[in-house]
Copies of this chain bind each other. A is one copy, B any other.
Amino acid sequence: MDDLFEPDKSCVALNVRRLSRIVTRRYEDALRPVNLKSFQFSALVALSTRDAISHSALANSFGMDLSTLNRNLKPLLARGAIEMTVDPADARIRLVKITTAGKSLYAEALPLWRAAQKETLEKIGPEMWPALKDGMNKLIDRD
């Protein structure tokens, strides 16, 4: 067993970042036919169930800086998959909403995502995923 405070094999950041790169590539390979990046697909998922939502609320749900979110949405906006409006009740707030075109795109992407998800889960046995996910999410619980 590695010493947990020697940074060569145990570093959580290193392990998690490498995992993120490799998993992202797998999902983006799968989504290439519909020309969606991993974040873009996740944004469509998040928006497909709610109605309009503010930038900051969405950024928070992704654990992402507001400025990052803002810029990452631009390609979806340029494609017409989402639209933005100013909150009528508070002019500071920008609301995001999926469009009809965005919903079609999402429907097109969903089976591609499922293939990547299946391929990924099969590597650990799908029944292991909930526990693994819980462990991962504990790493980022608010104190």
Q: Which residues of A contact B (CB under 8 A)?
A: 1-2, 4-5, 7-8, 10-24, 26-27, 38-39, 41-42, 45-46, 49, 62-64, 110, 113-114, 116-118, 120-121, 123-124, 126, 128-133, 135-141
Contact = CB atoms under 8 A, between A and B. Distances in A.
Contact of A130 (B2, B26, B45, B120): B2
Contacts of A138: 123-124
The listed residue with most B CB atoms (<10 A of its CB), out of A26, A39, A63, A121, is: A63
Dominant secondary structure at the A interface = helix
A126 to B, nearest CB: 5
26 contacts: A4-B126, A7-B41, A7-B42, A7-B45, A7-B117, A8-B45, A8-B46, A11-B27, A11-B42, A11-B113, A12-B117, A12-B121, A13-B23, A13-B26, A13-B27, A13-B42, A13-B116, A16-B19, A17-B23, A17-B39, A17-B42, A18-B64, A19-B136, A21-B62, A23-B140, A128-B135
A17 B118 CA distance: 18
B135 A124 contact: yes
